[in-house]
Amino acid sequence: MNKAVSRRSFLCSSAALAAGLAVDFTLAPGVFAEEAAPGRVYVGTYTGHDGHGEGIYLFDFDSATGGLSNRRLAAATPSPSWIAIHPSKRFLYAVNEQSGGTGSATAFAVDPATGALRSLNTVSSHGTAPCHLSFDASGKFAFVANYVSGTIAVLPIEADGSLGEATDVQQHTGVVGAPNGSTSAPPGGFTVVGHDAPHAHFAIHDPQGRFVLVCDLGQDRIYTYRFDAGAGKLSVASTTPVPTGDGPRHLAFHPSGKWLYAITEQGSTVMLFDYDAQTGALRQREIVSALPEGFAGTSYGSEICIHPNGKWLYASNRLHDSVAVYSIGADGRLTHTSQAHTQGDYPRHQNIDPSGRYFFVCNQHGDNIPSFRIHPQTGALTPIGHYAAAGTPACLIFA
């Protein structure tokens, strides 16, 4: 257990799909939304011996410049490494990814005037090292992925925003992936960690709200669960393997709902799947590297997201400290178009502002969040020279 937690400390859409990317999908290709009014951004961090953040920070977002300013502590809570705004915008939820012991999730009420957070309650996540949280389509349940224990918990959301006791807990069991390396890692890579046991890393519902898809990094599998929204129960519909040792980490649905993309941690690849909305089944169609051609050495895939216009996909790399930019073809296939340095160290999370103009990266080991401008024709990223300071930033969302 301690070894797995240490690995997470080192390696240190979804909620992002439901929050930061859930914008106007009717935009014509290449056209951005109207400029948004100044808004708010929340940033979750690692605290204690896993980091030196203080909890959840609140920033002002200037939609005219892309800058983040006026940092203040919105909530002091242990290692909120993943945070998510409820669809109602009235509540915010955080996992508490602490080293050792049982993990937890905390509910907060959002002050609409100031953005301040008021703690409502904290409940068990029914596993160790929770690392991801998202909502079902109705907003009545939260799904929590517990990395070290390989469990998925379904937590009901009460009328007052507080979290109830789990209605279901799924424990992943069985074989794990290759302990001796990744199938797809670049030459000279040393990516053998994470395959000692099942490790649930990510869980999101599909666009229709019928299924929940879960990455298990340790098992090299993507699970498709049927979700009973009345009872709050999950049942396995199918599992989809990825190349042995590659370690699926996070997922992103295309706005059309036809395609699903996965980033692998040890393989540093992006995988394209056709998605069957009736059965929840995945059909693998393409695998591309998230690293530049000719790269040799060790790097780890981190985060994946799709621009709201559906034309561009972004995949970040830790150790190589870059974001790969791809254009998405009419058939869903990817073409690598550019690679941007993250202007910091160890990118853990990334997000796009609601207008689609700006891109942000949480550089976990760099203690900074740089802003990038998104080119309106190519999707390429250009740093605008603005850096927001935050101790061990792990997750950034727009309010």
- Give the rounded distance of the alpha carbon of 218 from its chain centre: 17
Task: Report whether pLDDT(67) > 90.
Answer: yes
Burial 160-174 (b: 16+ CB within 10 A, else e): ebbbeebebbbebee
Cα 31 from Cα 356, distance rounded (Å) = 9
- Dmax (CA) for the chain in angstroms is 53
Task: Report whether pLDDT(17) > 90.
Answer: no
Task: Report whether pLDDT(34) > 90.
Answer: no
Ranges of each domain in the chain: 2-398
Q: Give pLDDT, residue 269.
A: 98
Beta bridge partners of 327: 312, 335
Tell me the mean pLDDT in the region 5-14: 40
> Positive or negative CA dihedral for 15, 19, 24, 30?
negative
Cα 125 from Cα 5, distance rounded (Å) = 16
Rg of the chain over all Cα atoms, to the nearest angstrom = 19
- State in words which class domain 2-398 has: mainly beta
The per-type count for the chain, helices as H runs and strands as E runs, is 2, 28
Task: Report whether pLDDT(369) > 90.
Answer: yes
Cα 310 from Cα 307, distance rounded (Å) = 5
Tell me the mean pLDDT in the region 284-299: 96
Q: 14-18, 224-228, 296-300, 350-354 — which is least confidently predicted?
A: 14-18
Contact 221, 232 (CB under 8 A): no
Cα 127 from Cα 108, distance rounded (Å) = 21
Cα 134 from Cα 150, distance rounded (Å) = 16
Tell me the mean pLDDT in the region 202-212: 97
Can you state the percent helix, strand and coil of the chain, rounding each to 5?
5, 45, 50
Give the start-end residues of each E strand in 178-295. Answer: 200-205, 211-216, 221-228, 233-241, 248-253, 259-264, 269-275, 282-289
Q: Give pLDDT, residue 194.
A: 81
- 123-142 per-position pLDDT tens digit: 999 999 999 999 999 999 99
For the whole model, what pTM was predicted? 0.91
Contact 344, 336 (CB under 8 A): no
Q: How many alpha carbons lie under 13 Å from residue 97 in its C-beta half-sphere?
A: 32
Q: Give pLDDT, residue 179.
A: 66
Beta bridge partners of 45: 393
Q: Which two tokens stand for residue 389?
A: 């300071």
Q: Give pLDDT, residue 102.
A: 83
Tell me the mean pLDDT in the region 49-56: 92
Beta bridge partners of 222: 215, 240
CA dihedral 34, 86, 250, 53 (to 10 degrees): 100
Q: Give pLDDT, residue 188.
A: 85
Q: Give pLDDT, residue 181.
A: 81
Contact 313, 263 (CB under 8 A): no
> Positive or negative CA dihedral for 263, 172, 122, 137?
positive
- If one counts every other C-beta atom within 10 angstroms of the C-beta of residue 144, the result is 30
Q: Which helix (H) or strand (E) holds 326?
A: strand 322-328
Q: 64-78, 80-94, 192-206 — which is least confidently predicted?
A: 192-206
DSSP at 8: H
Q: Residue 322: name the closest of 293, 302, 306, 307 by CA.
A: 302
